[in-house]
């Protein structure tokens, strides 16, 4: 008898391991919005609960280590993941717990966004956490995506601008990951053009080579930039899970973030810097509404 069940359909499965943002603009809430908007199936492991809004972070509560591990086990033992995106890990102990669990499950593709400070300036992980990331997660990461401040914290010296990117990326790559993307958006607003710098390992004629690519794009004139780092890393992860190569995934993710910033320029969410508009492909932007388009 012919089965009446529909043919099995596979879509990209992306697991985000990150902190919760009660304001919805960053953290795993932003990650899940991005994954869904780009056609993936999002799953989550909560590492910390933050009380935050557009004005800042008022409280952080780490999730118990056994609960973090149990969440990872529950997802990977049943659903699985084509790729794992890691965001806020608020303590060295959480870093080690996550790394141990991912190794145990044999996860091969990991995008690490080393979140150490919120857009508002609140600390989301100190130097001990940064060093734990370097020791435990860099060696198994497919891509690490620090902004300027995070790269400076990881390297222990200031990264002041695009002229420093190549050396900084090489030093970070030497710590173990397969690729590094240094994001230039945190340069002061007098820089109207943003440079993001990608460096990655490749194999040509059975020899490992190091390749680089600069992505130059304009700065969107907006204060609504909350969650851009989480959004970019999640977009890269989703594009990779959907079968795009690294270079194409990074380029498409940058374009997605840029479009979200442009669409969210006039959104009024909260009293401080709000989020970009993750769903710009599906719903009218505030600018379009303002103009009556």
Predicted pLDDT at 283? 80
The catalytic residue among 183, 195, 231, 260 is 183
Q: What is the token pair recorded at 160?
A: 């002041």
| pLDDT value at 251 more than 80 | yes
Q: Where are the domains of the chain?
A: 13-287
3-state SS assignment for residue 104: helix
Band of pLDDT at residue 12, cut at 50, 70 and 90: very high
Helix, strand, coil share of the chain (percent; to 5)? 35, 25, 40
Tell me what percent of the residues of the chain surpass a pLDDT of 70: 89
In the chain, the largest separation of any two C-alpha atoms, in whole Å, equals: 69
The predicted-structure confidence for 122-155, as pLDDT tens digits, reads as follows 556 678 999 999 999 999 999 999 999 999 999 9
Could you confirm whether 58 is annotated as catalytic? Answer: no
Could you confirm whether 227 is annotated as catalytic? Answer: yes
The catalytic residue among 19, 87, 227, 274 is 227
Beta bridge partners of 147: 183
Predicted pLDDT at 126? 75
| pLDDT value at 44 more than 90 | yes
Kindly report the CATH class assigned to 13-287.
Answer: alpha beta
Predicted pLDDT at 3? 53
Could you confirm whether 183 is annotated as catalytic? Answer: yes
The predicted-structure confidence for 148-204, as pLDDT tens digits, reads as follows 999 999 999 998 888 899 999 999 999 999 999 999 876 766 667 889 999 999 988
Can you tell me the mean pLDDT for 94-114? 98
Band of pLDDT at residue 50, cut at 50, 70 and 90: very high
Predicted pLDDT at 127? 85
pTM for the whole thing?
A: 0.92
Residue 259 CB partners (closer than 8 Å, separation 6+):
280, 281
Q: Half-sphere exposure (CA, 13 Å, Cβ side) for 127? A: 5
The catalytic residue among 228, 231, 238, 285 is 228
Predicted pLDDT at 162? 83
Residue with tokens 């020791």: 135
Predicted pLDDT at 160? 81
| pLDDT value at 7 more than 90 | no
The predicted-structure confidence for 261-278, as pLDDT tens digits, reads as follows 999 988 889 999 999 999
Could you confirm whether 27 is annotated as catalytic? Answer: no
List Cα–Cα distances, 247 to 25, 201, 219, 244, in angstroms.
26, 12, 21, 8
The catalytic residue among 229, 260, 264, 274 is 229
The catalytic residue among 119, 225, 238, 285 is 225
């Amino acid at each position: 008898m012919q089965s009446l069940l529909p043919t099995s359909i596979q879509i990209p499965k992306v697991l985000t391991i990150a902190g919760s943002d009660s304001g919805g603009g960053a953290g795993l809430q932003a990650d899940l919005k991005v994954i869904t908007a780009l056609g993936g199936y999002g799953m989550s492991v909560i590492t910390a609960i933050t009380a935050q809004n557009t004005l800042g972070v008022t409280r952080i509560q780490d999730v118990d280590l056994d609960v973090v591990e149990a969440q990872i086990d529950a997802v990977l033992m049943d659903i699985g993941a084509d790729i794992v995106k890691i965001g806020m890990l608020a303590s060295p102990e959480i870093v080690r717990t996550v790394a141990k669990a991912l190794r145990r499950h044999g996860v091969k593709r990991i995008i690490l966004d080393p979140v150490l400070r919120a857009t508002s300036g609140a600390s989301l992980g100190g130097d001990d956490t940064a060093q734990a990331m370097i020791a435990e997660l860099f060696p198994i990461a497919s891509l690490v995506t620090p902004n300027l401040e995070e790269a400076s914290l990881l390297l222990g010296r200031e990264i002041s601008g695009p002229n420093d990117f190549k050396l900084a990326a090489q030093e970070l790559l030497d710590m173990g990951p397969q690729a590094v993307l240094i994001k230039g958006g945190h340069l002061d607003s007098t820089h109207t053009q943003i440079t993001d710098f990608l460096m990655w390992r490749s194999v040509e004629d059975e020899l490992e080579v190091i390749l680089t690519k600069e992505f130059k794009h304009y700065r969107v004139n907006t204060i609504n930039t909350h969650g851009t780092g989480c959004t970019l890393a999640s977009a890269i992860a989703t594009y990779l899970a959907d079968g795009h190569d690294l270079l194409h995934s990074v380029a498409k993710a940058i374009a997605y973030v840029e479009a979200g910033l442009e669409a969210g320029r006039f959104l009024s969410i909260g009293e401080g810097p709000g989020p970009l508009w993750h769903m710009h492909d599906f719903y009218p932007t505030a600018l379009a509404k303002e103009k009556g388009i």
